[in-house]
């Protein structure tokens, strides 16, 4: 039997107060090496973060601040760069339909490690 170990990195508590969350979806995130090291230290802020679905069926998270890794020198990353979220096509098309309605948005609720991989819990 496989055990699923999760380690919470950050929780966006304010999002549940500011938005009415209808549904949530778990997705992966595309990161650089130094970004993962910064996440292990907990140097991330989800306060102003949101996700967008592009016309070419890609989902990006914008406004998520991951602080540069202290020992990363030239391999460090941009703190506020858009990061691609990893979802199946059918999940992306479902999100496109839901976000297309008036007043709907994609907000990251939490960020956590699940079996060594970084996952994002998106709220609709």
Q: Pick the closest to residue 57 from 83, 78, 84, 28 (CA basis).
A: 84
pLDDT digits (tens, 9 = 90+) for 47-61: 889 999 999 999 999
pLDDT of residue 87: 94
Query: What is the pLDDT at residue 3?
Result: 59
Q: How far is CA 45 from the centre of its chain?
A: 11
Q: Taking the model in full, what pTM does it have?
A: 0.88
Radius of gyration in angstroms for the set of CA atoms belonging to the chain, rounded to a whole number: 15
Binned at pLDDT 50, 70 and 90, residue 13 comes out as: confident
pLDDT score of 26: 94
pLDDT single digits (tens) 27-78: 999 998 889 999 999 889 998 899 999 999 999 999 999 999 888 777 788 8
What's the half-sphere exposure (Cβ side, CA atoms, 13 Å) at 27? 28
Instruction: Quote the distance between the C-alpha of residue 107 and its chain's center.
Output: 9
């Amino acid at each position: 039997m496989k055990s699923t170990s999760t380690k919470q990195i950050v929780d966006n508590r304010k999002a549940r107060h500011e938005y009415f969350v209808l549904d949530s979806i778990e997705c992966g995130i595309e990161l650089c090496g130094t970004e993962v090291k910064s996440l292990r230290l907990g140097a991330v802020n989800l306060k102003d973060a949101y996700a967008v679905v592009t016309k070419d069926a890609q989902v990006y998270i914008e406004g998520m601040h991951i602080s540069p890794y202290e020992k990363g020198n030239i391999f460090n990353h941009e703190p506020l760069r858009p990061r691609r979220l990893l979802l199946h096509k059918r999940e992306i098309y479902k999100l496109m339909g839901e976000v297309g309605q008036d007043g709907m948005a994609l907000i990251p609720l939490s960020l956590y490690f699940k079996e060594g991989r970084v996952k994002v819990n998106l709220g609709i």
